[in-house]
Amino acid sequence: MNKLTRKISRTVSRTSSRTKSIKNNKNSNYHNKPINILSYNVSWESTSGQDSKWPLCSNNSNPNSPKHFSVCVNNIASVFDSPDYELDFITLQEAKNYKNLIKQSQRLKKMKYELHKSGLDIIATFWNDHVAGHKMVYTIKGEFEKGRPWMAIIFNNGLCLVNVHFGHYNEEEEMEHLEKMMAEIKKDIEKKGKNIVIVKRFIISGDFNYDIKKLSKSRNNNNGSSNSSNSNNIILNNNKFFYNPKHILTCCVKRRRHYDHVLDTIGIPIDINIPDVNYMASDHKPILVSLI
């Protein structure tokens, strides 16, 4: 297994434009209203059309083709722009074509974003800068292995949001990577000092390539726990992370697995759903999660 690496970045976050806030979202923060997070592995194959054998969008040469990558890009962008929900954060994996996604999405154009690249993979985290407390202070960036990045963003309200794209690991490897990642993040936060920002809440969002519910149950069984309250949480580096126990199928083309999750140290997420998405798009489904 490759050793986790990291680098701390103070780069100024990027933005497509500064515009007025999304309706009903002014002067809000996670202390007085739910946080809505949308996480989506947008599939580099679908959004680039570079794999001619890909079962979804597999063409990048003929704009008139029903499988041209622009079809997938437009359908994915429509998920971001749905009027059915507000979004505080968006975490994307395999966001190689993020520029075209921004171009096609009115909502993404209004959000700040930060990128991290490992190997050929790019992850992108978007947030509403106009929302009270959602001001980026610094980032911590690393990788589980080459091509499998993670990125933590620390905000001035004490929130640490971690975007992850795991490899295909077994149970032991998955836990080892989670533990090491949290150890690296907490170590760097401690080095920064409390005079910069006190982190009070951790959220991990992204493609785990593993059903975290199974991981939690396995660990609790191994520890001999019979407390039913433990079934909806998992301990990572001495932090208890909660997840919504609803089982939804998010991966992949045949949708047989629940690989995409959002974990929160504050409490069990209020709800988790799959938003409507037109065919064709990514092989993953997006997840929309409301947090207390």
CATH code assigned at 103: 3.60.10.10
Task: Please state whether the peptide bond connecting residue 181 to the residue before it is cis, i.e. omega within 30 degrees of 0.
Answer: no
Q: Are 113 and 15 in contact (CB under 8 A)?
A: yes
Full domain range(s) for residue 252: 5-11+35-291
- Contact at 8 Å (CB) between 36 and 262? no
Rounded to the nearest 10 degrees, what angle do helices 212-222 and 171-192 cross at? 90
Contact (Cβ atoms closer than 8 angstroms) between residue 146 and residue 119: yes
Is the separation of the CB atoms in 1 and 54 below 8 Å?
no
Residue 20 lies in a domain: no
User: Is 161 within a domain?
Assistant: yes
Confidence of residue 271 (pLDDT cuts 50, 70, 90): very high
Residue pLDDT, tens place only, 11-51:
434 444 333 332 333 333 445 678 999 999 999 999 999 99
Q: Where is average pLDDT lowest: 79-88, 140-149, 221-230, 264-273? A: 221-230
Residue 131, both tokens: 């929302």
pLDDT of residue 52 exceeding 60, the answer is yes
Q: What rounded mean pLDDT belongs to the chain?
A: 87
Q: What is residue 129's predicted lDDT score, i.e. its pLDDT?
A: 87
Q: Is residue 23 part of a domain?
A: no
pLDDT at residue 178 tops 60: yes
Look at residue 157 and tell me whether its pLDDT is greater than 60: yes
What was the pLDDT predicted at 219? 62
- Note whether residue 233 is domain-resident: yes
The reply to whether 138 falls in a domain is: yes
CB atoms near residue 223 (< 10 Å) = 9
Residue 29 lies in a domain: no
Residue 105 backbone phi and psi in degrees, to 5: -115, 120
Cis peptide before 252 (omega within 30 of 0): yes
pTM of the model: 0.86
Which structure tokens are listed for 9?
Answer: 């970045």
In DSSP terms, 136 is beta-bridged to 155
Cβ neighbourhood burial of 74 (10 Å; 0-12, 13-18, 19+): middle
Domain count, the chain: 1
Average pLDDT over residues 95-119: 98
Q: Is it the case that residue 80 has pLDDT exceeding 60?
A: yes
Q: Please state the φ and ψ torsions of residue 115, each to the nearest 5 degrees.
A: -115, 155
Is 137's pLDDT higher than 90?
yes
Please give the structure tokens belonging to residue 246: 């609803």
The amino acid at residue 97 is N
- 278 inside domain: yes
**What is the CB-side half-sphere exposure of residue 193 using CA atoms within 13 A?**
2
The reply to whether 25 falls in a domain is no
Helix (H) or strand (E) holding 278: none
Model pLDDT, residue 32: 65
Q: Which residue is listed with tokens 């499988």?
A: 67
Taking only the tens place, the pLDDT of each residue in 183-194 is: 999 999 999 988
